[in-house]
Amino acid sequence: MRNFIGTLSRRITVPLAVIFIASAVAYGQTPPGKSNIGFLYAFGAYAGPQGKGKVVSVQNETSLRAGDRLKLFFEPRSDLHFYLVHVSSQGELTTLFPAEGKPAKVAAGTQVFIPAGNNWFELDAHPGQEKFFLIATAERLDRLEELCSRHTALKDKADVQSSTDAILDEIKGLRQKHRQLSAPAEKPVRIGGSVRGQQPSSSPAVPDITPLAAEVTAPGFYTRTFSIEHR
């Protein structure tokens, strides 16, 4: 998966031509004195060639091809900490949010797009499976942030693999810690107007994924894993 950010400041390798299987396993637990968290989010894909494609929601059994693009939108109703971690089909782990050196806390009403602005992740032709781990929580996840920060500086293959395993174990542990029998409430929500502001007349139309948004209410902690199978 290529990340087109203006002058391609970085590339994120994520295999493509795919079938998305979104396993929406949500876990939550309200700590004493803490209220529910709420936010909007959308995971969208632009399927087809530029100018001729269409925006579709990434859901169970969504079929995409090489060259199709991906984008995620997030907007908290109250101040929240947000994390998005990706693991490619080659086992390479990348923290997509927060960016290196940036805080995970997102203020209420702030609209976050990943990647930012008019940029999208583009699917390449590598087969395999990859995963996106989305976490929203009222409390900062210090241990997860520490592990992800260390991971970016590693070069040795064995160290990188050990670090990847540690991060995935931490995410698994968080899910188990906050596991509950009742799932958080998640419902579609309509967002009126453009959230990006007016485009210059000379700019091509930018697909908008916000109409795909769902509103989530969860007891203090929410996680969702999107697993992608390429065919």
Best CA proximity match to 147, nearest among 127, 133, 174, 165: 165
Residue 205: partners with Cβ closer than 8 Å, 6 or more residues away: 51, 199
Mean pLDDT rounded to a whole number for the chain: 79
**Residue 107, SS3?**
coil
222 and 184 in contact (C-beta within 8 Å)?
A: yes
Residue 24 pLDDT class (50, 70, 90 cuts): very low
Q: One-letter amino acid identity for 13? A: T
**Residue 215, SS3?**
strand
> φ, ψ for residue 74 (rounded to 5)?
-145, 135
142-151 vs 157-177: helix crossing angle, rounded to 10: 160
Alpha carbon separation from 3 to 9, 67, 68 (Å, rounded): 8, 12, 12
Domain-by-domain residue ranges, the chain? Answer: 2-230
pLDDT at 196: 38
Cα separation of 112 and 108, whole Å? 11
Alpha carbon separation from 71 to 1, 103, 141, 181, 184 (Å, rounded): 11, 20, 24, 30, 23
pLDDT at 34: 57
Backbone CA torsion sign across 227, 21, 18, 54: negative
21 and 231 in contact (C-beta within 8 Å)?
A: no
Residue 210 pLDDT class (50, 70, 90 cuts): very high
pLDDT at 194: 35
With b for 16 or more beta-carbon neighbours within 10 A and e for fewer, the 174-213 pattern comes to: bbeebeeeeebebeeeebeeeeeeeeeeeeeeebbbbebb
Place of tokens 């994520």: 14
For the chain, the residue count is 231
Q: What is the pTM of this model?
A: 0.80
